[in-house]
Amino acid sequence: MKKRANLRFLSEGAFKGLVKVLIKTFAVYGTTLRDGFPIYSRVSGPDELVLSMRPTALSAKEFLFPQREVLLRFDREAGTHEPVIEAEDQVIIGLHPCDIHAISLMDRVFANGIPDANYLKRRGHTVIIGTECLPDDYCFCPSVGTMTAEDGFDIFLHKIKAGYLARIGTERGKRLLAKALTRLPTDKETAELEGFLKKKEASFKVRLDAPKEDLPLIYAKSDQSGVWDKIGAICYGCGSCNNVCPTCYCFDVVDTVKADLIHGERARVWDGCTLEDFAKVAGGHNFRKTRAERLRHRFNRKFRYLSDVFNALFCVGCGRCSRTCLVKINIAEVTNELIREQKSGK
């Protein structure tokens, strides 16, 4: 993957200079620390960025699929609807490989069938600058094939001692990187990168006990597993897992009317399949009544249902759902439990 021709060395100073240039023409967001926790936020200068660290609590999906996004504005008196499709030119700095994979999956979801203009416009206006990361106790990206990203970014920055090795992913990335002083990396620098990646892969504490290709079938055979009732019994149904997941894209559509009762807007807001009303229809029937059924649905969406459609796992191994879960339901442990059940023929 590390084709040297695609790599450029970029000093820390040159990187900072590039960020300053980007801030002039783009809204720049990046990974920073707030109260010691890694988050994405708007940055006004390169010194605010903290790169190459552990995963952020929230994913970067909000930049492409905001938690609340206006779709239409209407005038109830005139009976008119005006479509709203907004986007700003933005750069997101600090996306980890798992998040880059997640965005590639979201791209496919929103472009599939009737294209979703709102998402795709934002995506078209977004420059993605990925960075290397450090796993924590919840990360398991090597088990789902997302520890490295081959594409899906404009520029990817590998941290090395002397600065960064920048990988170009798109023509746009190439044009942007041309604004910074770069040079070809030395053999020593590329060797340092190789060494880092080997060390990184070895440092993961959590692994799935089956190859990723087997996971859809393992889930398909686990519909009747007792695991669902076990985790359903402790789940609060709070939807935090849906909130933090970089590939959870389900939404509700909600109208709001201004105090004049004439003007208003139709917006989509994040929804979550683990919330009680998600599959409830008018009249009151709930197609997934229990938390166990709703969790089974969510886990299957990540490992089976969507892979049936898109031929890719929708879990990118970021561990966010496990990290945020109030009752410590851990997606890797649950999956390993299902794998164990299959192996023991239960």
Site residues (CB under 8 A) for another protein? 71-72, 74-76, 79, 81, 83-85, 103-104, 107-118, 120-121, 123-125, 150-152, 170, 223, 249-255, 257, 261, 264, 266, 268, 271, 273, 278-283, 285, 287-288, 293, 297, 300-301, 304-306, 308-309, 312
Least separation, in Å, of the C-beta of 281 and another protein?
Answer: 5
State which residue, 1 or 114, has the beta carbon closest to another protein.
114
Least separation, in Å, of the C-beta of 260 and another protein?
Answer: 11
Distances (CA, A) of 58 to 107, 203, 270, 330: 19, 23, 13, 17
Least separation, in Å, of the C-beta of 258 and another protein?
Answer: 10
State which residue, 113 or 345, has the beta carbon closest to another protein.
113
For 215: left if phi > 0, alpha if psi spans -120 to 50, otherwise beta; the answer is alpha
Alpha carbon distance 317, 274 (integer Å):
19
Least separation, in Å, of the C-beta of 317 and another protein?
Answer: 16
State which residue, 108 or 200, has the beta carbon closest to another protein.
108
Least separation, in Å, of the C-beta of 316 and another protein?
Answer: 12
In angstroms, how far is the first alpha carbon of the chain from the final one? Answer: 40
Alpha carbon distance 104, 144 (integer Å):
15
Residue 180 · residue 10 · CB < 8 Å: yes
Alpha carbon distance 19, 17 (integer Å):
5
Alpha carbon distance 250, 235 (integer Å):
20
Cβ-proximal residues to 224 (8 Å cutoff; 6+ apart), any chain:
none
Least separation, in Å, of the C-beta of 108 and another protein?
Answer: 6
State which residue, 118 or 330, has the beta carbon closest to another protein.
118
State which residue, 9 or 153, has the beta carbon closest to another protein.
153
> Rounded to 5, what percent of the chain is helix, strand, coil?
40, 20, 40
State which residue, 202 or 282, has the beta carbon closest to another protein.
282
State which residue, 131 or 300, has the beta carbon closest to another protein.
300
- CA 193 to chain centroid, in Å, comes to 24
Least separation, in Å, of the C-beta of 329 and another protein?
Answer: 20
Backbone phi, then psi, for 100, in 5-degree steps? -65, -45
37-42 and 263-270 beta bridge pairing: unpaired
